[in-house]
Structure 1
């Protein structure tokens, strides 16, 4: 059975389906080799399906569920996830300007219940002003030389991402930033001042916990780079780690990886100032900008 799959970025429902298909296969005590022999699906296709790299065809999912002897009601639920997995959300209009991995990140972030974000050099994207975001996107573009339309689209997406704070159940955000993010002038002094004032305002939001790691803290566990940990309300959706850098971006989802980054985040937060002290430092930096 040849599997033809799309190349769109995975949605949270596709990831949920992939994880459940993998779990069901293991629960049925079937190896990848056994499944491919029974279904005619090649090993590479099954590998990609179980890791949400490809969206499977409906008939493929039905074949797998029947092989795993899944009850009819459960099959209906999983096929519903498959149907919903093509719904990429509000950012679909911006897809031509967004890398595939970033599309996936936006989709996951939009549905996350809580997010922990450590940033070593930038203000977290969910707390950026449009002017600061544009300066970051254009000036720190890693040599990609975005045209005006692409830059506008990236800024729009970054601003719309912040709708997670105005939904019926707002996202819980715990952000920790290195002091370097406050001191580096991005765009202009005026842009930076407005950004820091926006950051100080965010400190008062009940669903936002913001901390700063001061220079005087010295070396700390966050120095290797920034990362995000996402938690989801649905128990079927395991926590997810996102790491972004010059070498590329990646999603990590094994229990070991998530636990390692969670420990690292806790250590960084311990090295940081308290939220009250952090707000004071941000306000002082805004006045000095």
Structure 2
């Protein structure tokens, strides 16, 4: 009898067909009713799950009797109850590294768009407001030669810093749980406390993992430390930021602008952010290019295949169940 794989979100069709050639594949369908009820029903005899963007925890995984792996098509894994998966001895794999450059590209897209008021001026132009030479109300800020503060100098943070240093001659400063001299030295990057970084940066980019230390890392006190002309960028996770504090900082012009790809609640459909012209809001598209999503799907597929063929997947979140 073929092993059973649950596809629990949109997935690359060509790779899904490859899965179906080897295993029994069940594709969940939100239009068919309560998705969590579908999971509870299908997971009873499932061997593996693959997908992204779905909360998976005891409430919908409890019926699982032989589930071996959840292969997430993502780097982040805050949607999964890792402690519960450990109790059930279910592997969780992810897809790091392949989305680093795409996400760093997007961070700089947000940075430059916010600095030069691209989104609001696009609308201003389309609405017929461009009737004479632009004035100071339409002026943005230079990026070249400014100070870029990176919070979280992991793979993505380092890629952002490289873009700033090599592409825009920026002065790089960073904050991290520990210094990273191997990354910092080629970029002449200086380690700073969080407070120092916020006070000294023209541009602040958050690229940390979501964990207990980074939860609500940026709040009212932190935004008050930033310079009035500063631009804030978040491509990490929405919960890293106290969203209401950010909204107030933007409303009160405590900071110049923000560029956001992630939010406390997603999808974001109603928010005071939508009423502000000094924020760029994107729908969590850090890895959303055809090339990168294909690489992520391929890696998730290989993680799943390895687990079902009794090999240890290359990228495991929880390799130790103790």
Structure with the higher helix share, 1 or 2: 1
TM-score w.r.t. the length of structure 1 is 0.28
TM-score, normalised to structure 2, is 0.26
